[in-house]
Amino acid sequence: MTPLKNNLLLQALRNEKTERTPVWMMRQAGRTDPMYRELRQRVDLPLEAMFRDSDISIEASLLPKRIGVDAIIMFQDILTPLTPMGANFIFRPGPQLAAPIRCDADIENLRPIDPTDDLPHVGRTIKGIRSALRADLPVLGFAGAPLTLAMFLIEGRSPGRNPEHVFAMMRDQPKILHKLLSRLADMTIAYLGYQIEEGVHAVQLFESMADILTVEQYKAFAKPYHEQIFSALGSYVPRILFAKERREIELLASSGADAVSIGNCVDLQSCRAIVGNNIAIQGNVDNQVVATGSIDDVRRAVRNCIDAGESQGHILNLNHGLLQNTPFENVQAFVEQARQYTVAQTENATEGIAQK
């Protein structure tokens, strides 16, 4: 790959000391950005059609560059690779699946995919982002983890806090659920491998429903598939695990990931004490603070998080994605403070002046 002009994120993923803490945000390309809302209005397409249009995806992906983030994540959805499997989600406005997956026959009807043939728009999007960036920033790929995808498939919609059909299958038909999870793991390995081949610099695996699981459920139905995916991908690019608001850092760290994205349920310094310098840490500013706090609140939260991470193997991010009601001014303040705070510290250290 062409050397990057801004390599901070990859340095952090290698657990290196960085001149300042790199920053990006989950859901940074989307609904909080007025330019994204203008794009939605201009193209006047449902979300699933926007994801399939590479030109639109490229444009949406690149919007956060103007506010100073240190990585661009492609504009897609975790449900994107399910369509060629035969599970075509539409967004009206939330995800909806006409025929949820509830039995063995439904699983048998899911097709294996070849991402090169079945998801060419994803490859075009990655290449288009890289071309537009001209090696300015790294590009992040991602996929939904098998259990999170299974929850959407089984419920036929966003699972919510109590996905009754999923929990019933865990209890009454665990073999059926594992069959579905195994197929989704195979698909995810192929999908992330394809993204790596197309040029992403790092990948993130989203276990977005991890916070509703018991420890036993997480160990049985989530973690084995994280391990399978990360092992199959190898170490060609850094691998980040996002398991929403899990407290069991040892479990996350033993998944084979190069970095763990932690929630604000965990103290960042305590997390570092657990994992040492073996893996990088991403997080962990509370997205509620960014959504409802003042600009001063946002700046304070950023400074506190950067202090805790010490710009050593740390990527500044949220505990999970930007919330829909987040003022864009707060999003801008989040990134601006991240860039200014560490730069100021570095300059002052050079002058021998301690400043907080």
Question: Would residue 8 count as lying in a domain?
Answer: no
User: 44-71, pLDDT tens digit by residue?
Assistant: 999 999 999 999 999 999 999 999 999 9
Q: Point out which residues pair with 4 in neighbouring strands.
A: none
Q: Quick check: 307 pLDDT over 60?
A: yes
Q: What integer best gives the mean pLDDT of the chain?
A: 94
Average confidence (pLDDT) over 5-15: 97
Question: Would residue 193 count as lying in a domain?
Answer: yes
Average confidence (pLDDT) over 147-167: 97
Q: How many CB atoms lie within 10 A of CB 353?
A: 9
Q: Quick check: 338 pLDDT over 80?
A: yes
- CATH at residue 114: 3.20.20.210
Give me the domain span that covers residue 60: 21-280
Q: Quick check: 347 pLDDT over 60?
A: no
Average confidence (pLDDT) over 307-316: 96
Question: Would residue 343 count as lying in a domain?
Answer: no
Domain tally, the chain: 1
Quick one: what percent of the chain has pLDDT higher than 90?
93
> According to the model, what pLDDT value does residue 353 have?
34
**Is residue 356 very low, low, confident or very high in pLDDT (cuts 50, 70, 90)?**
very low
Q: Quick check: 80 pLDDT over 80?
A: yes
Question: Would residue 222 count as lying in a domain?
Answer: yes
> According to the model, what pLDDT value does residue 278 have?
86
User: 202-249, pLDDT tens digit by residue?
Assistant: 999 999 999 999 999 999 999 999 999 999 999 999 999 999 999 999
Quote the CA–CA distance of 42 and 61 in Å, as a whole number. 16
Per-residue three-class SS string for the chain: CCCCCCCHHHHHHCCCECCCCCECCCCCCCCCCHHHHHHHHHHCCCHHHHHHCHHHHHHHHHHHHHHCCCCEECCCCCCHHHCCCCCCCEECCCEECCCCCCCHHHHHCCCCCCHHHHCHHHHHHHHHHHHHHCCCCCEEEEEECHHHHHHHHHHCECCCCCCHHHHHHHHHCHHHHHHHHHHHHHHHHHHHHHHHHHCCCEEEEEECCHHHCCHHHHHHHCHHHHHHHHHHHCCCCCEEEEECCCCCHHHHHCCCCCEEECCCCCCHHHHHHHHCCCCEEECCECHHHHHHCCHHHHHHHHHHHHHHHCCECEEECECCCCCCCCCHHHHHHHHHHHHHHHHHHHHHHHCCCCCC
> According to the model, what pLDDT value does residue 342 have?
61
Q: Quick check: 346 pLDDT over 50?
A: no
Q: What is the dihedral of CA 288, 49, 147, 109, to 10 degrees?
A: 160
Question: Would residue 200 count as lying in a domain?
Answer: yes
> According to the model, what pLDDT value does residue 1 have?
65
User: 273-293, pLDDT tens digit by residue?
Assistant: 999 888 999 999 999 999 999
The mean-pLDDT minimum among 148-157, 302-311, 343-352 falls in: 343-352
Average confidence (pLDDT) over 112-124: 98
Average confidence (pLDDT) over 183-209: 98
Question: Would residue 58 count as lying in a domain?
Answer: yes
Quick one: what percent of the chain has pLDDT higher than 70?
96
Question: Would residue 160 count as lying in a domain?
Answer: yes
Average confidence (pLDDT) over 333-337: 98
Q: pTM higher than 0.85, yes or no? A: yes
**Is residue 121 very low, low, confident or very high in pLDDT (cuts 50, 70, 90)?**
very high
Question: Would residue 11 count as lying in a domain?
Answer: no
